[in-house]
Structure 1
């Protein structure tokens, strides 16, 4: 079943539902632990990207981004959306890995973040590299995906809180804690 996950692109709803049914188990949803197990079995088969696998933090953030019903798990539709995102991130990662090292340099990361649609200033790019890079300043696939998921979560949260579309929000202490705990 995992070989099938590696070899197919989940483009049709029927394919993704059948695959999801095989992977989700008895509760018909995927938890962060199940997602981590599934994704890590897939990425270890790849030799074109460097990664130690997806961290539980990255998997939790993926679920937080897409969990519409608050269960802390992904249903079939949410899983399909996530899989499409991961495929897009993989393409972006490989396209921007100019030296084909299997990981991103700080400059490659900047270009990839911008290509993903995030306009950030220099200090924010530096924060992302500092937070998501290894000691040699390289960014592996897990950290790349983790950074894009985190950015998407933060942008989505800000947009939700910016009720009048002013580009400004005001947060009380508990609201700030909620945002900071994302």
Structure 2
């Protein structure tokens, strides 16, 4: 009960416009990485889409409680795979995580995931910003996206042989329906 009161206090503090919670509000105030930086906005959008159960574009308290638990669970996963405790996931840690989740991606695919979700891979930070590797928020997003894409592929792989026979329209429709 004490936890619920604390969570309500946190939610009330960040929800300055009651019943009108926005992605930006959550990005700036509610969802914070282990280094106190705000979550990446694309990750926030993905999480809101996942937890906005009534599909009204906002996160109410009960949805926020589910989201909070989800984030807490992912923090434990992140800490487990961040073996060097750098605050980010490097390519070998990413490979281990994905393998334990049941995704045996090639080196090339892991490298692509690393480049896509590592903010330092595409731009120099000038000594500021996150350490090299995938930050917590982007790690969550990468894993969720890989799961969603894998599930979408499985839906199209009707004979379960690892190959799909779909036309471009079917493929695009499947991918674009993902949150």
Match of 1:119 among 93, 103, 106: 103
Question: Match for residue 146 of structure 2?
Answer: 151
Question: What is the CA-CA distance between 1:62 and the residue it aligns to?
Answer: 1.0
Relative to structure 1, the CA distance from residue 86 to residue 100 in structure 2 (aligned partners, 3 Å threshold; closer, same or farther) is same
Question: Match for residue 125 of structure 2?
Answer: none
Q: How does 1:96-115 map to 2 (within 5 A)?
A: 96-115=81-100
User: Aligned-pair RMSD on alpha carbons?
Assistant: 3.5
- Give the structure, 1 or 2, with the largest relative contact order (CA under 8 Å, sep 6 or more): 1
Relative to structure 1, the CA distance from residue 126 to residue 34 in structure 2 (aligned partners, 3 Å threshold; closer, same or farther) is same
When normalised by structure 2's length, the TM-score is: 0.69
How many matched pairs? 164
Q: Distance in 2 between matches of 1:103 and 1:89?
A: 13
Contact 2:19–2:58 (CA<8 Å) still a contact in 1? no
Question: Match for residue 35 of structure 1?
Answer: 26
The ranges of structure 1 where at least 4 consecutive aligned residues each deviate by more than 6 angstroms after the TM superposition are none
1:26 aligns with 2:5: no
Q: Which has the greater radius of gyration?
A: 2
When normalised by structure 1's length, the TM-score is: 0.68
Question: Match for residue 169 of structure 2?
Answer: 173
